[in-house]
């Protein structure tokens, strides 16, 4: 568990904070709040009840604090006592933080108020206590009793952070020219106050610039395995070796915050217009979603071919091929392999024979059992022996009883003050998919001849140009820049959520520079490598394929078999192939088109094909033929795009839609229409085919009010599917 926290932010809201200085577009207060909001929302985002926040306004119009009897505490208002900060508090604070009409109010006194607040709230309990004061240091400050205050801060274990607008900081490089003497005195006073009690004194500019650097959430790891690393079977052989070890994450992907689904509250539209943004920051009223599950089975006798079944008639089971295998409750774990926890070494492999791409998972560290020196020593001998011999161990790991075993690689890691094994999951036989690809350093022709000069192979010049370019783009530094690369999505969403919480009406921001630091190569490096890149580009002579020809009819040479035999000539001799037959429709349609020497023949082919498709629809029992229909339509669409006859398809599709929605093709076929839309077989637009008359937007436009289809589909699910 993370420590409990109590942080009081003291924000100077004096009249002078409302001014803009040194050419900044924001007032001092807005500038200061940028920092304060970031810190507050970061805490709110954790959702932790024990991370408490309080806010005090300094140089406020009003006076409201526990010590207000004493005039030295006037013009200090507690805006929010310590407690968990929620959205409502953010909204309230947003309203409350405004430059006041006064410049009165003592910063040192406000610190005392904050100490008092923390005291009252945390009592003597264990807390991380902190006071953050943000000011421009122009008000009046009283240095009486400074020692006592400092002692109190230290005794209570409070960390004091003082941040000031345009405070001088030689280290960071801020120096305010023509600084007001009074302000300079105040700066010195605050510096003495903060540093005298072990606190931090800094300039606001630095604090704000550091906001750009994403903050990493530190997660304390728990061991995912505690047991023995063993060699040999301890229960059978006296020579078995066992070292008690523990396993922790070394890497684990930090996930971006996840969104939950909500439904727009019914009538949300109107509320929306009324601007009832009371419950959410986005202005829409939301309600949570519940799910309910029903179960259905196929039943040919039922309308729609499916019937609902009761949950009580169902048993747990698995599919074996298309056979359902049920498993009775008593046998629930029957398919689970019996295993016992342990990490057992299978053997050793040489480092130079290991392919790095076999890494299948995140990585773990294996360290000796805590407080066990002998285990440390034993594991150390393994780590050093592996290291010296340039070897990895391969082991079988079962992290918990009855968990499936995995095979892991154990690699030695030796740093001056830390030794461990790095553990990574390796693939099993089933995890390897053998997709085959032709070699890249030679070309094997159909006849089996090996060719080393080919348009797909680099020439010597190209290889040389590539070598030079790669060498010129060498990155500096020993290590990969892992430490300063931040998960772009995680931090962008995190920032966006926090930003929206504070500024609900602002548009979302672009990702910060830190997040996209590695999106492009370093400019300097690119400049240095410019010449070799130009050389490479001219030697490579890569040509972009114009988008128009991409979907064009394939080259004729690929339509010949390996022998190069002219099958088209044979096809021409086949007398019967002027009529497309229903059982071999797709090949014959394609062949008819490819032989077509007039537009009439194309029209005829389409006409024949459409009548086959419609017959298939009419005779389809339920959805039995739908896949064939989609294949036929899809083929037609593809071919007509290639033949630049989109209108033929578009016209037909419109006609087909009419027939389907008009129930002319053997009853209710609306589900088919939905399937056609889903398969992206809509109108051919201009982006797909230049000669089309349909614009992209028109093609997107659902040919029917989408609600009808959509609702219908749900109906299908509900009633008979």
Q: Which is nearer to another protein, 149 or 641 (CB)?
A: 641
> Is residue 45 at the binding interface for another protein, with CB under 8 A as the rule?
yes
Structure tokens at 640: 């007509």
Q: Which is nearer to another protein, 29 or 676 (CB)?
A: 676
Minimum distance of another protein from residue 203's CB (angstroms) = 26
Minimum distance of another protein from residue 328's CB (angstroms) = 10
Dihedral sign for Cα atoms in the order 457, 462, 464, 470: negative
Q: For the segment 439-498, give every residue that binds another protein (CB under 8 A).
A: 439-441, 444, 446, 448, 455-459, 462-463, 465-467, 469-471, 473-475, 478-493, 496-498
Q: For the segment 676-705, give every residue that binds another protein (CB under 8 A).
A: 677-681, 702
The residue from 286, 302, 596, 699 that contacts another protein (CB under 8 A) is 286
> Is residue 269 at the binding interface for another protein, with CB under 8 A as the rule?
no
Q: Which is nearer to another protein, 326 or 607 (CB)?
A: 326
Q: For the segment 348-367, give every residue that binds another protein (CB under 8 A).
A: 348-350, 353-363, 365, 367
The answer to whether the beta carbons of residues 363 and 424 sit under 8 Å apart is yes
What DSSP designation does 256 have? P
The residue from 437, 513, 600, 705 that contacts another protein (CB under 8 A) is 437
Q: Which residues of 111-135 are buried (b: 16+ CB within 10 A; e: fewer)?
A: bbbbbbbbeebbeeeebbbbbbbbb
Minimum distance of another protein from residue 375's CB (angstroms) = 6
How long is the chain?
721
**What is the rounded CA–CA span in Å between residue 46 and residue 1?**
13
Q: Candidates 25-33, 178-186, 188-196, 706-714: pick the segment binding another protein (CB under 8 A).
A: 706-714
> Is residue 576 at the binding interface for another protein, with CB under 8 A as the rule?
no
> Is residue 525 at the binding interface for another protein, with CB under 8 A as the rule?
yes
Q: Candidates 6-14, 150-158, 204-212, 375-383: pick the segment binding another protein (CB under 8 A).
A: 375-383
The answer to whether the beta carbons of residues 395 and 408 sit under 8 Å apart is yes
Binding mask 207-226 for another protein (x = CB under 8 A): -------x-xxxx-x-x--x
The residue from 170, 438, 575, 662 that contacts another protein (CB under 8 A) is 438
From 80, 149, 89, select the one nearest 121 (Cα to Cα): 80
The residue from 144, 210, 428, 619 that contacts another protein (CB under 8 A) is 428
Q: For the segment 379-398, give every residue that binds another protein (CB under 8 A).
A: 380-386, 388-389, 391, 393-394, 396, 398
Half-sphere exposure of 619 (CA within 13 A, CB side): 8
How many Å separate Cα 437 from the centre of its chain?
A: 31
Minimum distance of another protein from residue 607's CB (angstroms) = 19
> Is residue 529 at the binding interface for another protein, with CB under 8 A as the rule?
yes
Structure tokens at 217: 């959430």
Pairing type for strands 200-203 and 158-164 reads parallel
Q: Which is nearer to another protein, 262 or 654 (CB)?
A: 262
Minimum distance of another protein from residue 58's CB (angstroms) = 25
Residues 147, 151, 155: CA angle, nearest 5 degrees: 175
> Is residue 274 at the binding interface for another protein, with CB under 8 A as the rule?
no
> Is residue 259 at the binding interface for another protein, with CB under 8 A as the rule?
yes
> Is residue 66 at the binding interface for another protein, with CB under 8 A as the rule?
no
> Is residue 710 at the binding interface for another protein, with CB under 8 A as the rule?
yes
The residue from 301, 330, 434, 452 that contacts another protein (CB under 8 A) is 434
Binding mask 323-342 for another protein (x = CB under 8 A): xxxxx------xxxxxxxxx
Q: For the segment 129-188, give every residue that binds another protein (CB under 8 A).
A: none
**What is the rounded CA–CA span in Å between residue 620 and residue 607?**
20
The residue from 156, 168, 195, 284 that contacts another protein (CB under 8 A) is 284
> Is residue 114 at the binding interface for another protein, with CB under 8 A as the rule?
no
Minimum distance of another protein from residue 264's CB (angstroms) = 5
CB-based contacts of 552, cutoff 8 Å, min separation 6: 642
Half-sphere exposure of 491 (CA within 13 A, CB side): 19
Structure tokens at 167: 């405070």
> Is residue 265 at the binding interface for another protein, with CB under 8 A as the rule?
yes
Q: For the segment 505-524, give every residue that binds another protein (CB under 8 A).
A: 507-508, 511, 516, 518-522
CA separation, residue 351 to residues 355, 409, 422 (Å): 9, 11, 13
The answer to whether the beta carbons of residues 131 and 158 sit under 8 Å apart is yes
The answer to whether the beta carbons of residues 26 and 71 sit under 8 Å apart is no
Q: Which is nearer to another protein, 63 or 686 (CB)?
A: 686
Residues in contact with another protein, counted by CB under 8 A, come to a total of: 275
Question: CB burial class (10 A; 0-12, 13-18, 19+) of residue 714?
Answer: exposed
The residue from 276, 345, 596, 699 that contacts another protein (CB under 8 A) is 345
Minimum distance of another protein from residue 344's CB (angstroms) = 5
Structure tokens at 618: 């009419």
Structure tokens at 212: 């750009």
The answer to whether the beta carbons of residues 687 and 700 sit under 8 Å apart is no
The radius of gyration of the chain's CA atoms, rounded to the nearest angstrom, is: 37
Q: Which is nearer to another protein, 151 or 384 (CB)?
A: 384
Which residue in this structure is represented by tokens 């997107």? 700
Structure tokens at 259: 């969104």
Q: Candidates 59-67, 72-80, 175-183, 253-261: pick the segment binding another protein (CB under 8 A).
A: 253-261
Q: For the segment 578-637, give every residue that binds another protein (CB under 8 A).
A: 583-584, 586-588, 590-591, 627-628, 630-631, 633-635, 637
Backbone angles phi, psi at 535, to 5 degrees: -60, -45
Residue 519 DSSP SS3: coil
> Is residue 202 at the binding interface for another protein, with CB under 8 A as the rule?
no
H or E segment and range at residue 225: strand 225-231
Dihedral sign for Cα atoms in the order 207, 208, 212, 215: positive
Minimum distance of another protein from residue 543's CB (angstroms) = 5
The answer to whether the beta carbons of residues 114 and 131 sit under 8 Å apart is yes
The residue from 83, 120, 144, 297 that contacts another protein (CB under 8 A) is 297
The residue from 405, 596, 659, 661 that contacts another protein (CB under 8 A) is 405
Structure tokens at 625: 């033929």
> Is residue 191 at the binding interface for another protein, with CB under 8 A as the rule?
no
**What is the rounded CA–CA span in Å between residue 79 and residue 62?**
10
């Amino acid at each position: 568990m993370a420590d409990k926290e109590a942080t009081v932010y003291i924000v100077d809201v004096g009249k002078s904070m409302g001014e803009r200085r040194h050419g900044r577009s924001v007032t001092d207060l807005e500038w200061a709040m940028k920092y304060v909001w970031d810190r507050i929302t970061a805490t709110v985002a954790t959702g932790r009840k024990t991370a408490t926040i309080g806010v005090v306004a300094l140089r406020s119009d009003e006076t409201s604090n526990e010590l207000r009897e004493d005039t030295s505490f006037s013009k200090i208002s507690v805006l929010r006592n310590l407690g968990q900060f929620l959205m409502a508090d953010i909204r309230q604070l947003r309203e409350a933080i405004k430059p006041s009409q006064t410049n009165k109010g003592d910063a040192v006194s406000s610190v005392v108020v904050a100490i008092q607040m923390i005291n009252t709230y945390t009592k003597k309990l264990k807390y991380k206590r902190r006071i953050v004061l943000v000011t421009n240091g122009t008000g009046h400050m009283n240095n009486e009793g400074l020692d006592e205050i400092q002692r109190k801060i230290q005794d209570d274990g409070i960390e004091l952070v003082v941040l000031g607008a345009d405070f001088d900081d030689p280290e960071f490089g801020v120096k305010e020219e023509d600084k007001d003497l009074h302000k300079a005195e105040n700066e010195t006073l605050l510096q003495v106050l903060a540093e005298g009690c072990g606190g931090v004194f800094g300039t606001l500019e630095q604090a704000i610039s550091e906001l750009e650097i994403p903050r990493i959430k530190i997660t304390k790891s728990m061991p995912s395995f505690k047991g023995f690393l063993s060699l040999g079977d301890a229960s059978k052989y006296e020579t078995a070796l066992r070292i008690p070890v523990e396993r922790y994450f070394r890497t684990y992907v930090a996930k971006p915050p996840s969104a939950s689904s909500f439904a727009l509250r019914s009538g949300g539209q109107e509320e929306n217009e009324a601007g009832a943004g009371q419950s959410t920051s986005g202005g829409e009223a939301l309600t949570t979603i519940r799910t309910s599950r029903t179960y259905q089975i196929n039943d040919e006798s039922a309308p729609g071919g499916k019937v609902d079944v009761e949950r009580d008639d169902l048993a747990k089971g698995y599919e074996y091929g298309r056979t359902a295998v049920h498993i009775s409750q008593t046998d629930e774990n029957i398919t689970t392999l019996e295993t016992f926890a342990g990490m057992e070494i299978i053997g050793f492999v040489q480092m130079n024979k290991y392919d790095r791409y076999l890494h299948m998972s995140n990585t773990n560290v294996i360290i000796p059992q805590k407080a066990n020196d002998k285990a440390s020593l034993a594991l150390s001998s393994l780590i050093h022996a592996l290291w010296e011999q340039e070897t990895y161990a391969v082991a079988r790991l079962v992290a918990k009883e009855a968990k499936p075993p995995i095979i892991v690689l154990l690699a030695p890691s030796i740093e001056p003050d830390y030794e461990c094994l790095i553990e990574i999951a390796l693939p099993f036989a089933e995890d390897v998919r053998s997709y085959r690809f032709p070699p890249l350093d030679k070309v094997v022709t159909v006849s089996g001849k090996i060719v080393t000069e080919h348009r797909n192979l680099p020439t010597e010049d190209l290889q040389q140009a590539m070598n030079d370019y790669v060498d010129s783009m060498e990155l500096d530094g020993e290590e990969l820049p892992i430490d300063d690369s931040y998960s772009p999505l995680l931090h962008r969403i995190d920032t966006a959520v926090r930003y929206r919480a504070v500024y609900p009406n602002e548009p979302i921001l672009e990702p910060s520079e830190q997040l996209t630091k590695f999106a492009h190569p370093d400019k300097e490096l690119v400049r240095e490598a410019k010449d070799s890149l130009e050389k490479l580009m001219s030697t490579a002579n890569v040509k972009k394929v114009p988008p128009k020809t991409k979907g064009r009819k394939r080259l004729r040479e690929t339509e010949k078999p390996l022998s190069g035999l002219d099958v088209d000539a044979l096809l021409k001799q086949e007398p019967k192939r002027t009529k497309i037959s229903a059982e071999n429709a797709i090949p014959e349609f394609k062949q008819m088109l490819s032989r077509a020497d007039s537009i009439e023949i194309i029209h005829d082919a389409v006409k024949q094909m459409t009548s086959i498709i419609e017959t298939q629809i009419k005779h389809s029992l339920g959805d039995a033929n739908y896949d064939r229909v989609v294949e036929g339509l899809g083929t037609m669409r593809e071919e007509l795009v290639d033949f630049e006859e989109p209108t033929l398809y578009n016209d037909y599709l419109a006609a087909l839609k009419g027939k389907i929605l008009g129930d002319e093709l053997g009853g209710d076929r609306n589900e088919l229409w939905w399937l056609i839309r889903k398969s992206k077989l809509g109108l051919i637009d201009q982006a797909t085919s230049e000669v089309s008359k349909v614009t992209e937007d028109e093609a997107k436009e659902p040919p029917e009010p989408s609600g009808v289809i959509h609702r219908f589909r749900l109906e299908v699910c509900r009633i008979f599917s």
